[in-house]
Amino acid sequence: MSWILTFLGKGGTGRTTVAIATAQKFAAQGKRVLLVGQDPGPAFGMMLGTTVATEPKAWLPNLEVVQLQATVLLERAWEELKQQEAKYLRTPFFGAVFGQELGVLPGMDSALSLNALREFDGSGKYDVIVYDAAGDLTTLRMLGLPEVGTWYYRRFKQVFMDSDFYKAISPFVQPVAAAVLNVNVSGSDPFNQPATQQMTSVMDQGKAAVADPNRVAAFLVTTAEPGAIATAKYLWGSAQQVGLTVGGVLLNQSHDTTALGREFEPLAVSAIPSYPGDDWQPIVDALPDFSQVQQAPRPIAINVSDRKVSLFLPGFDKTQVKLTQYGPEVTVEAGDQRRNILLPPELSGSGVTAAKFQDGYLILSF
């Protein structure tokens, strides 16, 4: 398994520069590194001084680079979908549609990029994957896709199975499925089948990876410009809503970290020099020890004995947070993000009795 590291911040703050230097830092330590560029434009390759392909290729010792391209990823995903269709359906019908003719719809890029990261991680070839993404809410929504996907599956599966429509058709589910599928459909839960089990397993693995700072983590990149600082703080709080740990702040093009340190407590702030042209060593030397992510506040902590759930939501206050509870789940809305928290059995069925902000944490009592 790899450690996936990405960077969040306003456009123009130097995220790509920091990502390239970070990849070099890990490679110099003897780690097997893959540097992934999200933007398919030419700027990424120009900064590297090389042509970047859609397949990983060596750039420096221990360091490979790749540039994601949605059309290529879509073709591969479509072929995989057709293979799965042929595996489970007696009469496949996607065979007449070819990946080369598919257009990229809005939102596809994120899902395709997430799947590409999953495949790079699963290859076992890399110790560290440095992901140079858009670094905004789009990136956070992409990383939060497994958790949101499992919620949609869990919630709407139950709604469907409780509906009068399902109760009316349930006697016919097994015979119809047996006529259409190559697999045996048995039991009272039509969703408990190999294809859906595989899908939910992949989503559960992705959700667990994002929640584990040893697997996935982010660092904020900003300049001293007020708009960049405000954006970094907003993304810091928003990252917690997808369960992503933010390990520190990189202040680009400035050496005065004193004022910024107060803005981002308790995160450590590191000053990064300006882009050096061909000599990357000054930036590499200025980068922090990325293992400090282990000391960063975790997005969520559940204390069953005290009957409390603590959510780290820096940058937000109580006027910007909305709580909703349906059964065993609590929905927390902050900024433009929603997080559904599935309560453990000990708290399931209990209502929220109190909510308060304390030292950047939203503390819910049950």
Domain assignments of the chain as residue spans, ordered by start: 3-75+100-147+206-295, 150-204, 300-365
Highest mean pLDDT among 46-50, 149-153, 177-181, 233-237: 233-237
Tens of pLDDT, residue by residue over 311-333, are 999 988 888 899 998 878 899 99
Q: Is pLDDT above 60 for 130?
A: yes
Q: Following DSSP, what letter does each residue of 41-86 receive, concatenated? A: SSHHHHHHTS---SS-EEEETTEEEEE--HHHHHHHHHHHHHHHHH
Tens of pLDDT, residue by residue over 201-224, are 888 889 899 999 999 999 999 999
Q: What distances in angstroms separate CA 39 from CA 66, 105, 240, one per listed residue?
A: 11, 16, 24
Tens of pLDDT, residue by residue over 2-32, are 999 999 999 999 999 999 999 999 999 999 9
Q: Does domain 3-75+100-147+206-295 have CATH number 3.40.190.290?
A: no
Model pLDDT, residue 105: 85
Give the other-Cβ count within 10 Å of 252's Cβ.
Answer: 24
Long-range contacts of 175-179 (CB under 8 A, 24+ apart): 179/90
Is residue 128 within 8 Å of residue 2, measured between CB atoms?
yes
pTM of the model: 0.89
What percent of the chain has pLDDT above 90?
52
Is residue 1 within 8 Å of residue 214, measured between CB atoms?
no
Range 300-365: architecture per CATH: Sandwich (2.60)
CA–CA separation, 152 and 270 (whole Å):
39
Tens of pLDDT, residue by residue over 257-280, are 887 888 899 999 999 998 767 789
Structure tokens at 293: 């992510």
